[in-house]
Amino acid sequence: ADMTIGFSQIGSESGWRAAETTVSKAEAKKRNINFKIADAQQKQENQIKAIRSFVAQGVDAIFLAPVVATGWDSVLKEAQEAKIPVVLLDRDIDPAGKDLYLTAVTSDSVHEGKVAGEWLVKTAAGKPCNVVELQGTVGASVATNRKKGFEDGIAGASNVKIVRSQTGDFTRAKGKEVMESFIKAEGGGKNICAVYAHNDDMMVGAIQAMKEAGLKPGTEVLTVSIDAVPDIFKAMAAGEANATVELTPNMAGPAFDAIIAFKDKGTMPPKWIQTESKLYTQADNPMAVYESKKDLGY
Amino acid sequence: MIRFLSRLTPVLATAAVFLAGFVVCSLIYPNFASLRVVMNLLTDNAFLVIVAVGMTFVIISGGIDLSVGSVIGFTTVFLALAIERWGVPPLWAFVLILVICAAFGACMGAIIQYFELPAFIVTLAGMFLARGVSFLLSTESLPITADLYAHLSDHALRFEGGARLTVPALVMLAVVIGGMVLLHLTRFGANVYALGGSRTATGLMGINVARTTVLIYILSSVLAGLAGIVFSLYTSSGYSLSAVGVELDAIAAVVIGGTLLSGGYGFIFGSFLGVMIQGLIQTYISFDGMLSSWWAKIATGLLLFAFIAFQQLTLHLARRSRRAPAGVHP
Amino acid sequence: MALRLPRIGTSQIVALGLILVANWIVSPQFFDIRVQDGRLFGSLIDVFNRGAPVALLSIGMVLVIAMRGIDLSVGAVMAICGAIAASLADTHSLPVVLAAALGAGLLCGLWNGLLVAVLGIQPIVATLILMVAGRGIAQLITEGRIVTFTSPDLAFLGGGSVLGLPTPVVLTLGMMALTLALVRGTALGLMIEATGGNPRASALAGIGTRFITVGVYVWSGLCAALAGIVASADILGADANNAGLWLELDAILAVVIGGTSLFGGRFSIILAVVGAFIIQAMNTGILLSGFPPETNLVVKAVVVLTVLLAQSPRLGGHFAGIGVLFKRSKSGGKRS
Amino acid sequence: MHATETLPPPLLALTGFSKSFAGFVALDHVDFTLHAGEIHALLGENGAGKSTLIKAMTGVVHRDAGTLRLDGVAIAPRSAEEAVRAGIATVYQEVNLAPNLSVAQNLFLGRQPTRFGLVREGEMRRRARALLGEFGLSIDVSAPLESYSVAIQHIVAIARAVDQSARVLILDEPTASLDAHEVEVLFAVMRQLTSRGIGIVFVTHFLDQVYAVCDRITVLRNGRLAGSAPVDELPRLDLVRLMLGRELSEATSRRPPVVEGEARADVATFRGVGKAGTIAPFDLALRAGHVVGLAGLLGSGRTETVRLVFGAERADCGAAEVAGRAVSIGSPREAMALGFGYCPEERKTEGIVAELTVRENIALALQARRGALSPLSRREQDALAAKFIGLLDIRPPDPERPVGLLSGGNQQKVLLARWLATAPRLLILDEPTRGIDVGAHAEIIGLIRNLCREGMALLVVSSELEELVTYADEVVVLRDRAHVARLTGAQIEVSTILATIAEAPSSVPLSADAA
Ligand SMILES: Nc1ncnc2c1ncn2[C@@H]1O[C@H](COP(=O)(O)OP(=O)(O)OP(=O)(O)O)[C@@H](O)[C@H]1O
Ligand SMILES: Nc1ncnc2c1ncn2[C@@H]1O[C@H](COP(=O)(O)OP(=O)(O)OP(=O)(O)O)[C@@H](O)[C@H]1O
Ligand SMILES: [Mg+2]
Ligand SMILES: [Mg+2]
C-alpha cells in the first residue's frame, strides 16, 4: 500500500522505547509504508503539536503512543474531522475518548504487574517474603499501573509484603542508587527476600548494587521485573535474575495490519488488540532469548 | 526615530529570522505555507507564550523564574480535582487557582527580596514544591469533563482549510498585547527595566524595590497559572507531570527574542517571536518526520544555532554603523 | 548583590553536618561503615560516592558561573562522553578510552566557549544548543540503546576503590585538587573573579577575558566528561537517554549553595563541592527515610529553602554564627 | 550650639548619629543642623564619613543611633523612597541611575506623567528637555543614559533630585566631574532653590566652591563632628586645619618652568589617529618626563582620545609609533604590552572590581601584564598593597577590605595605585583627582610630578584647569570632538585655556607639529 503514516512517539527515554521505534520502522518498511516519526521527548504538548502537524500534512493515518491517558479529545477530534484514523500504540487513553480512535494495540500494564506478583507469590511458596519495589517515574501511568497490578497479584498472600518502595525513574543509575539505600536501610539486605522493579533497566542497576553489597541476586534475593529487554536475559543466564514479564516492542506490526485492512477493505478492527504479557524465567533458555532480541534495537 | 529603531534592532532581527525560516520551510514543504500551520503555531504554543510573557518581566528585572513549568502542572491537577472531584464551578476554580498562584508568586518574591537570596534557587525550590504538591494531590492523569471545557475547546474562529483560531490562541494574543502595554507603557514597566539596569540605583531613586519585585513574581506566577488554565483547556485534563521543563523553553524563547538574561533589556514581542521560532523548528522537524529521535534532537540544536547565529549576524551588521567599544568585552 | 566582608563557608559545612545528622535520625544505621571487598561500605560512603558526578560537574560549573556564565550543557556532555567511553571500552585500552572521552568533553567545552566568547551569544542560549543537540549526539553514538561493556579497567573507575575509598570519590578529590592548583596556584582565579565581578574594568586592566572565558568552558567540559565516565563506569554501560539528565540544575544548585553568586565574582571550589554533597546527602536521606516517593520533591524544596534561609545575609547567617567559633582559631579569610 | 537668632528654626536636625560597620566606626555621635534657605557644606577628608552620614539620614544605611527631625517633627525614613516622600531628595556620590533607561525615564522614574495609567512619553520627553535646559544641556532625552559620559549622567542625577526636592536637597560631590561652566550653572540653580526656602547639603572637595556658594560649613573628621561654623567665620586655612587636623603643606605652587628644547625621548607618537563619529583625526606626541594635558568641555572628546590611545577603542585611521617602531594598538592588552597604563574616568563601571580586596585591585593590572601563569606571590602582593596604602594614604589602611566598601575618594586612590604599580612608560589618567580630598590632592599632584621627573610620559585629562596648569608641559584643547589647539610654555594659563575653549571654531590654527 502506498501510504503515509505519522507516528507520535513518546520519546527515547529507554532501551525498550528505542526498540519499539526500530521495530516499528522495520515493520513499516516491510509493508512499504512511508513512516514519519515525531519524538515528543516525554511531553504531551509536543505530541499534540505533532498530531496537529500530521493533520496539516494530510497523512493517511496517525499512530499515537500517548504519554498520558487524558487530554487527547480535542486533538483527536481534529484528526477525526480531517478523516484521518488514529491508532493507539503501547498505551491506552481515557475511556471517554473511545470513539476517537480506530483501535488500540497495547499491553495491559496492570496485568503485567499482576503476572509479576503472581509469579512471586508462587515462588515464595508461603514463606514470609519482604519485597522492595523500584517504581517507575512518579506520575507515569505505567508506573502507577504496574504498582497496582503487582499489589493485586500479591493481595491474596499475606506472607508477601512490600516493605520499601521508591522511585528509580526507570533508569539503571537510579535503580542502582535506590537499591543501595534499600540494602542499607534493610539491615545490609538481609531482610530483603525479593526485588520487584517496574522495568528491567532498574533491575539491572539493582542487581549490580546487590552484588557490590555482597548479596547474591537470583538466589538469596529473588528478582522480578517487566519489559524483557536483552540485558535481563543475560543476567538470568548468569543466574542473577529470576523473572521478567515481556512487553513486546512490536506494537506497530498489528497496527499496520489493522490500518491496511481498514483502508483497503473497510474492515473494522476490534477496539483493543492486546499484546501478550509473557513471563520468562531462568527455565526459558534465557541465552537463546537474548540472542533473538539483541539486534532489535534495545 | 532612528534611536527607536536601533533599540528595536534585536526584535527586528528576530522577526527577520522567523520570516526567513518560515519561507525556507514553505519552499521545502508545499503544505507548510498554510493558514492552518500558522494557526497551529499560535494554538499549540499559546501556553508557552503566556509563561514567556511573565518570564520576560522577570528576566528584564534581572531575575529568573524556574517554577513556571511546575506551576502549570500544579494548576492542571488542581483544576481537575476542583472541578471533577470537589465540584467547584470551572470559573470559580479559575479564580481560585489564580489567587493561589498569586500567593505563591508573592511568597517567592518576598523571600528573594527580604532574605536577599538568588532568584534562581528560590524559584528552583518553588519548582520542586509546586511539582511535589501536585504529586501529593494526584499522580494520575485526570480528565476534565465539565461542559465549559467541552464548549471552550470546541469554540474557535474557523477559517477555510481547517484552520482555527482557538480560545487558547485568543487568550495568548490578549496576554501578549496586555504584557506589551504593561511593560512598555506604564510606570510599573519602567520600574521593571530600572531594576534590571541597577537594583541599588533603583532603590536610591526612591522606587519601592520590594513592592516591584514581589509584583513581578506575582505576575509571573499568575501568568503561569493562566498558562496552566490554557493548558488544561488544551488537553481537557490535569496531570502532575505536565509541562515538565517548560521553564527552560520559556527562558530560551525570551532570550532568543533578544532579552538579555542579565536584565535591563528586552521586549515582550521578542519573546513571542522566540516561542514562534522554537515552534517553527518543531513543526519543521515533524514535517520532515524522517529523523530518528537523536537526529531530531541534533537538528533542533543545529537549527537553534543557525537561528541564533543568523540573529547575531543581523545584529552585528545593524550595529556596525554605531560605535562599539573594542577590546572591552563583557 | 550586596557586598559583604569575606566569610568562610562555615554555614555550608554546618548545613552538611545537620543534614547528615537528620539522615542518622531517619536511619539509625546511617553512620555504620564496614569494609566490604576491601572497600568502605555504608550510607555515608554512598553520599560521597553518589554525589561524585554532581561534585565533578560543580567544579567546572563554579568557574563558569564565577565568570558570569552558565553551562546548561554539562548533562548532555556527560552523556556524550559516557557513551564514547562505554562504546570503546571493550575494544581499546583504558588510556585510549579516557583520551577519547575527555577529548570529546574538551571539544564540547571549546564549542561552548567559542559561542560565548567569540560570537557573543548569551551563555544560557549558547549552552542550551549543546544541551539539546548533545543528548542527540550521545544517542546517536549508542543508537538509543544502553551500551554495556565488561572492561574491568573502566569499571574500576566507577565501582573500584583506592585505599578503601570509592574511585569516584578519589577522582573528585583529585579533580578538585588539580583545579585548585590551576586557579589558585596561578593568578587565573583572581582573573576569573575580577572578570566576573566587573568585566569591563578587567578588560581595561589588561586581562585576556576572552581567552579565560573559553578556558573555563573547556574546563567545565572536561569535568563533565569525567563525570560522564564515572557515571558510565558505575552502571557498566552508557545510558545516553538518561545519563546526566537534569544534573545541570543540581550542579548549579550546588554552586549557589556553595555561596558563589550567579552574577559572577568571588567563588569557592571547595564549597561548591560541599554543596554537591549537601544535595546528595539530602537525596540519600530521602531514599533512606522510606517516605513515599510522591513526597520527595516537597522534602527537597523544604530542605533547600531551609539551607538557603540559614545562609541569608538577613538572618545574619545563623549557621555561620555557630561557625564563628571555628573561624577564630583559623587565620585569614583566604578562599579557595 | 551657635546662637541662631537671625536664622529661622532648623529645617533638618540630626542628633547623635552613629554608625559602625562590622566594628569599624564610620560615624560617632554626629550632630548636624540645616536651616531653610541655606546651603550647608559638609566637608571632610576621604573616608571621614560624609557619604555615610547622608545615607544614614535618608535611611539607605540603617543607623545605629541618632534622631532626625524635619521641621521639628521626628522622622525615620527606612529607604530612599520614604526619604523622598518626606521631601528629602538626594544625589548620592556615585551616579545612581538606571543606565539602561532613557534619560527622560531616569529623570521621571516613579513620577512619570500618566494618562489612564499609561505613561505619556511625549509629555515626559518635553518636560525632560525643559528640565535639562535649565542646566544648559540639550541632548537626546530618549537615548539610554549609558550612552552619555559620567558628567552628563551626573547632571541628569542632579536635575532629577532638584526637580524632586520639596524641602531638602542633598548633593554628594555633584561637581566632581563637572567643568567650570557646568558648576556655575549648578550654583545658579542652587541659589534659586534656596530662595524658595529649600535647604541644601553640599559635599565637595573644592574649597573655592565652598566659599562661592555656601552659607555654613560642617566638618567631619574620622567619623566625628570636628566643627561647624558660618562660612565667613572660618577662613580657608582654619578650615583645612579643621579637616585634616594638621597644616597642609601647600603643594599647589607653580611647576618649575620647562627648559625649552630639552631633548626628551619620544615614548609614543600618534599621527592622524581618529575614529569616525567619535573623534576627528589628531596628532599626539608623548615624551618621557613630559605631561600632556587635555582640556575641553563636557563631551569634547577627551575621554575618547585617551581610549583610542590605549586601544580601549579601535581607531579606524592613522598610525602609531612607540619607541620608534610602528605599532597597531587594538586592545588594552596590546597597549599594556607596550608599557601603557590607563586609569579610566568611570571608576564604578570601568575601574574598580568592587568585590575584590584593596590588595587584589592594586595587583590586578600588574598581574595581567605578567600573565596568569606567573602569579604575584602573596608576599609581593602584600608588599605592593602596603606600599601604595602608605604612599596614597588609603583609608582605612586595610588591604583585605573589599574595595566597594571604601569611600569614593579612597577607591580612586586604589585605582591610581593599580596603574602606578605597573610602572608604565606612558600613564594615561582620566580625571585622576575626581573626588579626592584637599590633602590627598596635593600629594597626588606631587606624585605626578615625581613620576614625570623619573621619566614617565603622562597624558592627563582634567576638568580642573587650576590643577592642570600646575603640572602640564603642554595642553591640548578640544572642542566638538576635535583637537583644536596646542598650548605650550607661557600659554599654559587658566585664562588662556578658557579663552581657547570658548573661541569660535578654527580661529586658533592647530599646527600639526607645533611644540
Ligand atoms: N558598607 C560599608 N561597610 C564597611 N565600611 C564602610 C561601608 N560604607 C562605608 N564604609 C567605611 O566608612 C568610612 C566612611 O565612608 P564615607 O563613604 O562616608 O566617606 P566620605 O567621607 O564620603 O569619603 P569620600 O570623600 O572619599 O567620599 C570609610 O572608611 C568606608 O570605608
Ligand atoms: N553635549 C553633548 N551632547 C551629546 N552627547 C554628548 C555631549 N557630551 C557628551 N556626550 C556623549 O558623551 C560621550 C563622552 O564623550 P567624552 O567622554 O569623549 O567627553 P569628555 O571630553 O571626556 O568629557 P567628560 O568630561 O564628560 O568626560 C560622547 O561620546 C557623547 O556620546
Ligand atoms: Mg563620599
Ligand atoms: Mg571624559
For C177-193, what is the mean pLDDT? 96
> Does residue D220 sit in the same domain as residue D72?
yes
> Does residue D296 sit in the same domain as residue D443?
yes
Ligand nearest D305 Cα, by number?
A: 2
Helix (H, G, I), strand (E, B) or coil at C273: helix
Q: Which of A257-261, B99-103, D68-72 has the highest mean pLDDT?
A: B99-103
Q: Do D332 and C188 touch (CB under 8 A)?
A: no
Model pLDDT, residue C31: 92
Q: Do D375 and C3 touch (CB under 8 A)?
A: no
Sheet with A86-90, edge to edge strand ranges: A34-39, A4-9, A61-64, A86-90, A103-106, A272-274
Q: Where are the alpha helices (DSSP H) in chain B?
A: 2-28, 35-44, 46-60, 68-80, 90-114, 119-137, 147-154, 167-185, 187-197, 199-204, 209-235, 246-256, 268-288, 293-320
Q: What residue's CA is closest to ligand 1, atom 6?
A: D405
| D248, part of any domain | no
Chain A residue closest to B41 (CA)? A49
For residue C191, CA distances in Å to B266, C332, D339, D376 come to 30, 21, 20, 12
Q: Which of A57, A109, A108 is nearest to A79 (CA)?
A: A57
| C2, part of any domain | no
For D4-22, what is the mean pLDDT? 81
For A25-36, what is the mean pLDDT? 93
Domain with B150, as residue range(s), is 20-320
Chain B residue closest to D277 (CA)? B323
pLDDT band at D263 (very low <50, low <70, confident <90, very high): low
C261/B contact by beta carbon, under 8 A: yes
| D256, part of any domain | no
Domain count, chain C: 1
> Does residue D285 sit in the same domain as residue D179?
no
| C201, part of any domain | yes
- Residue B62 — φ and ψ, nearest 5°? 90, 10
Please tell me the total number of residues recorded for chain A in this structure: 298
Given a contact cutoff of 8 angstroms between Cβ atoms, the answer to whether D272 and D320 are in contact is no
| D379, part of any domain | yes
Query: Mean pLDDT lowest for which of A203-207, B9-13, B234-238?
Result: B9-13
| Euclidean distance between CA atoms D391 and C55, whole angstroms | 45
For B125-136, what is the mean pLDDT? 95
pLDDT band at B325 (very low <50, low <70, confident <90, very high): very low
CA distance A268 to chain C (A): 35
Model pLDDT, residue C7: 55
What count of other Cβ atoms lies within 10 Å of the Cβ of residue D377?
9
The secondary structure of chain C in percent helix, strand, coil, rounded to multiples of 5, reads: 70, 5, 25
Q: Is the model's pLDDT at D433 over the cut of 50?
A: yes
Model pLDDT, residue C332: 35
Torsion angle in degrees (nearest 10) through CA of B134, B139, B140, B142:
-10
Q: Is the model's pLDDT at D259 over the cut of 70?
A: no
pLDDT band at C333 (very low <50, low <70, confident <90, very high): very low
Ligand nearest D344 Cα, by number?
A: 4
B37/A contact by beta carbon, under 8 A: yes
Long-range contacts of D372-381 (CB under 8 A, 24+ apart): D372/C186, D372/C187, D372/C188, D372/C191, D372/C212, D373/C186, D373/C187, D374/C187, D375/C185, D375/C186, D375/C187, D375/C190, D376/C187
Q: Is the model's pLDDT at D509 over the cut of 70?
A: no
- What's the D268 CA to ligand 3 centre distance in angstroms? 36
Model pLDDT, residue C4: 53
- Residue A3 — φ and ψ, nearest 5°? -130, 150
Q: Is the model's pLDDT at D47 over the cut of 80?
A: yes
DSSP D192-236: HHHHTT-EEEEE-S-HHHHHHH-SEEEEEETTEEEEEEEGGGS-H
| B13, part of any domain | no
Model pLDDT, residue C268: 94
For D324-336, what is the mean pLDDT? 91
> Does residue D176 sit in the same domain as residue D310?
no
Residue of D141, D150, D154, D298 best suited for mutating to test ligand 2, as the one with most atoms within 8 Å of CB: D298
- Compute the mean pLDDT over every residue in chain B, rounded to the nearest whole number: 89
| Euclidean distance between CA atoms C64 and C116, whole angstroms | 11
C207/D contact by beta carbon, under 8 A: yes
Q: Which of D126, D108, A252 is nearest to B186 (CA)?
A: D108
- What's the D51 CA to ligand 1 centre distance in angstroms? 7
Q: Is the model's pLDDT at B326 over the cut of 80?
A: no
| C221, part of any domain | yes
| Euclidean distance between CA atoms B269 and A88, whole angstroms | 38
> Does residue D186 sit in the same domain as residue D294?
no
Model pLDDT, residue D5: 52
| D381, part of any domain | yes
Query: Mean pLDDT lowest for which of A281-290, B308-317, C250-259, D275-284?
Result: B308-317
Type and span of the H or E element at D272: strand D266-275
Model pLDDT, residue D64: 93
pLDDT digits (tens, 9 = 90+) for C114-154: 999 999 898 988 999 999 999 999 999 998 888 999 999 99
| Euclidean distance between CA atoms D114 and D320, whole angstroms | 54
| D302, part of any domain | yes
| D167, part of any domain | yes
Interface test with B, best of C305, C306, C309 (most B CBs within 10 A): C305
Q: Do C190 and D363 touch (CB under 8 A)?
A: yes
CA distance C47 to chain A (A): 10
Model pLDDT, residue D273: 93
Residues of B in contact with D81 (CB under 8 A): 203, 206-208
Burial zone of C91 (CB within 10 Å; 0-12 exposed, 13-18 middle, 19+ buried): exposed
| C171, part of any domain | yes
The grid coordinates of residue D31 equal: 550632630
Query: Mean pLDDT lowest for which of A157-161, B308-312, D118-122, D405-409?
Result: B308-312
| C191, part of any domain | yes
Model pLDDT, residue B320: 63
Distance of CA C240 to the CA centre of its chain: 19
Q: Is the model's pLDDT at A125 over the cut of 60?
A: yes
| D16, part of any domain | yes
Long-range contacts of C159-165 (CB under 8 A, 24+ apart): C159/A208, C159/A212, C159/C233, C159/C234, C159/C236, C160/C39, C161/C38, C161/C39, C161/C40, C164/C35, C164/C38, C164/C39, C164/C40, C165/C39, C165/C40, C165/C45
| D239, part of any domain | no
Q: Do C43 and A184 touch (CB under 8 A)?
A: yes
pLDDT band at D255 (very low <50, low <70, confident <90, very high): low
Computed from CA positions of residues D324, D328, D330, D334, in that sequence, does the dihedral angle turn out positive or negative? negative
Percentage of chain C lying above the pLDDT 70 cut: 90
| B6, part of any domain | no
Percentage of chain D lying above the pLDDT 70 cut: 93
pLDDT band at B262 (very low <50, low <70, confident <90, very high): confident
CB–CB contacts below 8 A, B to D? 105
Bridge partner list, B165? B157
Chain C 275-314, residues with CB within 8 Å of chain B CB atoms: 294-302, 304-305, 308-309, 311-314
Domain count, chain B: 1
| C4, part of any domain | no
Global ipTM = 0.89
The grid coordinates of residue B280 equal: 517553527
| Euclidean distance between CA atoms C10 and C305, whole angstroms | 17
Q: What residue's CA is closest to ligand 1, atom 27?
A: D408
Q: Do D368 and C207 touch (CB under 8 A)?
A: yes
Percentage of chain D lying above the pLDDT 90 cut: 61
| B4, part of any domain | no
> Does residue D41 sit in the same domain as residue D52?
yes
For C216-239, what is the mean pLDDT? 96
Model pLDDT, residue D27: 95
- The residue assigned the cell 501556553 is B47
Ligand 2, residues at Cβ distance < 6 Å? D 139, 147-149, 151-152, 296, 298-304, 345, 463
> Does residue D401 sit in the same domain as residue D433?
no
Q: Which of D241-255, D383-397, D497-511 has the highest mean pLDDT?
A: D383-397
Domain count, chain D: 3
| C3, part of any domain | no
We report the CATH number of the domain holding residue B220 as 1.10.3470
pLDDT digits (tens, 9 = 90+) for D169-195: 999 998 887 888 888 889 999 999 999
Ligand 1, residues at Cβ distance < 6 Å? D 21, 24, 26, 44, 46-52, 93, 395-396, 405-410, 435, 437
pLDDT band at D256 (very low <50, low <70, confident <90, very high): low
Domain with C187, as residue range(s), is 10-330
Model pLDDT, residue B36: 86
Model pLDDT, residue B140: 87
pLDDT digits (tens, 9 = 90+) for A259-275: 999 999 989 999 999 99
For residue D348, CA distances in Å to C17, C167, D60, D97 come to 40, 47, 19, 13
Chain C 70-129, residues with CB within 8 Å of chain B CB atoms: 72, 115, 117, 119-126, 128-129
Q: Do A171 and C242 touch (CB under 8 A)?
A: yes
**Which one-letter DSSP state was computed for residue D377?**
P
- The residue assigned the cell 484514523 is A85
Buried b vs exposed e over A257-268: b needs ≥16 C-beta within 10 Å? Answer: bbbbebeeeeee
Helix (H, G, I), strand (E, B) or coil at A252: helix
For B90-114, what is the mean pLDDT? 96
Domain with D164, as residue range(s), is 12-100+144-234
DSSP B187-216: HHHHHHHHHHH-HHHHHHTT--HHHHHHHH
- What's the D468 CA to ligand 2 centre distance in angstroms? 20
We report the CATH number of the domain holding residue D86 as 3.40.50.300
Q: Which residues, 6+ apart, have CB-to-CB distance to D133 below 8 Å?
A: none
Name the residue with higher pLDDT: C10 or B81.
Answer: B81
Vertex C103: Cα angle to C97 and C105 (nearest 5): 110
Kindly give the number of the ligand 2 atom that is closest to the alpha carbon of D345: 27
Q: Is the model's pLDDT at D6 over the cut of 60?
A: no
- Compute the mean pLDDT over every residue in chain D, rounded to the nearest whole number: 88
Q: Which of D402, D423, D444 is the last residue of a domain?
A: D423
pLDDT digits (tens, 9 = 90+) for C262-295: 889 999 999 999 999 999 999 999 999 988 998 9
A69/C contact by beta carbon, under 8 A: no
Q: Do C287 and A166 touch (CB under 8 A)?
A: yes
A189/C contact by beta carbon, under 8 A: no
Helix (H, G, I), strand (E, B) or coil at D14: strand
Model pLDDT, residue B330: 30
